[in-house]
Each structure stands twice: as structure tokens, then as C-alpha cells.
Amino acid sequence: MPVKVARAEPEFVPGVRHPLERWLRTDRLPHIWCSGCGLGTALSAFLYALDELGWDPDSIAVVSGIGCTGRVAGYLKLDTYHTTHGRPIPFATGLKLAKPDLHVIVFSGDGDLFAIGGNHFIHAARRNMDITVICVNNLNYGMTGGQLGPTTPVGALTTTSPFGNFEHPFNLVHLAASAGATYVARWTTLDGRRLQKAFVEALSHKGFTFVEILSPCPTNYGRRNRMGEALDELKYYREHMVIRHGADPKDADILPGKPFLVGKFVDLEKPTYLELYQTKAREIGGG
């Protein structure tokens, strides 16, 4: 409830635009995401990164899968693909190989990328496909009603684990690093400018790059785990996140009520799939 009252009277100005509106399909806004969902923040950080990079919009393609995060493709005024469930990475791989000059970005959720499309993720990382994968991790299947997902922490309550989750979840940072990703970072939706910097680094990095964003899910995950409103979830992040660059990805587990690591975990150079393919093709005389 308001404590203070506005002293200055506002002016009404018609026809003004948000600075990011040149990247957005404004006829589709306001978006469908719940009040307090971190997806809008993650999307705006991504758009600020595109602003900073200054790339031609025609040279960018965004691919997303199914789920709340999958809706990103529908809101961007870029070449976007809203693909079948779990398959944004195969689509992105095809796109990158057919048009190597294109900047290909996969923007999807944890369920889409790691449960339904888990196999595609590890193999794209293994081959070092030159794409950027952005995963918004809300720790459950948000769109379908808050079921247990591959990233749900041990002990967390969901619709399909009403007595608490007993399964071992994925540590996405460790998974990406061990599968061969050349850039791995994790941030929360609270880190506006750090997130923008991570996106700029990941997008301009050669090879398979991965950015995980921890996002509140107030409607499903937060409510069932009695974390309160989205605001309380962000306060929880503020109190529990520990920024440690270059930490061992093994230590980046997320446990309820325990501190978790964020930062840049991996940053290395490795020949990409396309480079290796071209080298091989030249070697055997076909290139």
C-alpha cells in the first residue's frame, strides 16, 4: 500500500515509445506473461544487448520452442521461429549451417531445452555449433500448471510432487560445461546490466554459448513453495545469490534455502563445427 503520495503532478504525453519498441511487435503487447514473471526482464535485457551490439536486424534469427519462454518468438520484430516442442536447437543448427553469416539465437525454457530437447542440447554443445542458447529457468513446467521438471530442486513442491521432489535435478551450468559449451554464464532476472553484458559476450563469442537465467514463477513454483509474490522471489535471489566468476560448474547446484552461484563459469576458444567441417572438406578435396 502507498505510504507516500505523489507531490509532483504528471503530464500526459500521447504517442511516446519505449526505447525497445523498435525490436518489438507492439500490436501484441502487453504480453501474456504473469504479473512478476521474469521473462519480460530477460527479454528486455536481451534487447538491450542487441541495441549495444548494433547488428543489422536482418542478420539475427531467434528460434524458440514451446512453453512460456517460447512466446518470445512471437513478440520480436525479427526473423523468428516458434518451433515444435524441444526442437529449437535442431532448427537453429539447420539455420546456421544453411546461412553461416546469420546470428542464430535459441531462446527457450528449461523444460523445452533440457527435458523434451535434452539430447539436442548436449549434441549441439558437443559439436560446438556456433549458436547462442538462452535458457530461462523457472524450475518447473510453468505453462502447463507447474509440474515437476528436470531442474526442480530436491524437496521443492510441484503439482506432480506434492510431498516434495526426491529426484536429482540437472545442474544446467555443469551440464553445458561438460557437454562442451565454450561460454557458460548464469544470472538471475535481478541482474539487469550484468545480464546485458553476459548476452553481449555470449552473442559475440564464437562457438556454442549458453546463458542460464533464473526467473521467478510466482503463479506456479513460487506459490506452491510458499515463496510469496514474485517480489519475494526476487528478494530471495538477492539474499541467496553469490557472484563468483570462474567457479567450478560442479558447485553450481541449486538447493532450496541455500546460497547458489551465479557469474561466468566458462569462457574458452575452440574450433566450431562449421570450421572443422570446412577443414575436413578441403582435406578430402571436396571443399
Partner 1 sequence: MSELQERAAKLWKVPKGYIYVLEEFCKGCGFCVEFCPKKVLAQASHFNDKGYHPPEVVDPEACVLCGFCERICPDFAIWVEEEGKGDVS
> Which residue of 54, 56, 98, 193 would you call a contact of partner 1, by CB under 8 A?
193
Separation between Cα atoms, residue 66 and residue 59, nearest integer Å: 24
Interface pattern 110-129 for partner 1 (x via CB under 8 A): --------------------
Least separation in angstroms between CB 217 and partner 1: 12
- Count residues near partner 1 (CB under 8 A): 47
- Nearest C-alpha neighbor of 247 from the set 258, 232, 228, 262: 262
b/e code 8-26 from CB counts within 10 Å (16+ = b):
eeeeeeeeeeeeeeebbee
Separation between Cα atoms, residue 25 and residue 76, nearest integer Å: 6
Q: Which of residues 21-60 bind partner 1 (CB under 8 A)?
A: 21, 24, 26-27, 29-31, 33-41, 44-45, 48
Q: Is 192 in the site for partner 1 (CB under 8 A)?
A: yes
> Which residue of 82, 126, 174, 235 would you call a contact of partner 1, by CB under 8 A?
235
Tell me the three cell numbers of residue 190: 535481478
What does DSSP assign to residue 146? Answer: S
24/173 with CB nearer partner 1 = 24
CA angle 34–53–16, rounded 5-degree value: 55
DSSP 166-192: -SPPP-HHHHHHHHT-SEEEEEETT-H
229/251 with CB nearer partner 1 = 229
11/283 with CB nearer partner 1 = 11
| Omega before 30 within 30 of 0, i.e. cis | yes
Residue that has been written with the C-alpha cell 535442431 in this structure: 90
Least separation in angstroms between CB 248 and partner 1: 30
Least separation in angstroms between CB 51 and partner 1: 8
By CB under 8 A, which span of 84-92, 135-143, 154-162, 223-231 interacts with partner 1?
223-231
First to last CA, the chain: 68
15/246 with CB nearer partner 1 = 15
By CB under 8 A, which span of 14-22, 105-113, 132-140, 259-267 interacts with partner 1?
14-22
Which parts of this chain interact with partner 1 (CB under 8 A)?
A: 1-8, 10-21, 24, 26-27, 29-31, 33-41, 44-45, 48, 189-190, 192-193, 229-231, 234-235
